[in-house]
Amino acid sequence: MDWNECLKKRIAKEVIEDEELINSLLKTSKNKLDSERKLELNEITSASKISLLYDSLRELLEALSLKKRFKIYNHECYTYFLKEILNETQIAEEFDDLRKIRNIINYYGKEISIQEAKDVLERMNSLRDKILGLLK
């Protein structure tokens, strides 16, 4: 798949910029980040922390795509948006890798060690900072 296929299949579409929705997504993203940070990292919370931080990251991507006048309905299409519209290949590849890790945890029940969770959370925080930079 690529960006053109996302558009062709209506998984992504052009929209009018919605500043109110963008601000709401930024607030929700921050709330999920704050929630993730309140959880102590342990065997019980590691998957939950990853899910919360991933959701925070994905909401920033949604705000970014709306700012660029696109609505995206599929997490995979955010990768193509980053790569093909914003020319941010490294960020796109990092997001796609983190998306796959999150999916394996959420949908296939993969257990993750505390050290693996620390590494994933660090990568997500770093990527979140880069996306915030693109929003400015």
Q: Furthest-apart CA pair in the chain: how many Å?
A: 43
- Percentage, residues of the chain above pLDDT 70: 100
Q: What is the mean pLDDT of residues 120-131?
A: 98
Answer whether residue 21 shows pLDDT above 90: yes
Distance between CA atoms of 31 and 56, rounded to whole angstroms?
Answer: 8
Q: What is the mean pLDDT of residues 53-75?
A: 97
All structural domains of the chain with their residue ranges: 3-135
pLDDT of residue 70: 98
- Do 50 and 128 contact (CB within 8 A), yes or no? no
Distance between CA atoms of 104 and 35, rounded to whole angstroms?
Answer: 22
pLDDT of residue 109: 84
- Do 32 and 53 contact (CB within 8 A), yes or no? yes
Name the pTM for this structure: 0.95
Q: What is the mean pLDDT of residues 39-63?
A: 96
pLDDT band of residue 116 (cuts 50, 70, 90) is very high
pLDDT band of residue 44 (cuts 50, 70, 90) is very high
pLDDT band of residue 111 (cuts 50, 70, 90) is confident
pLDDT band of residue 90 (cuts 50, 70, 90) is very high
Query: Which fold would CATH assign to domain 3-135?
Result: Four Helix Bundle (Hemerythrin (Met), subunit A) (1.20.120)
pLDDT of residue 59: 98
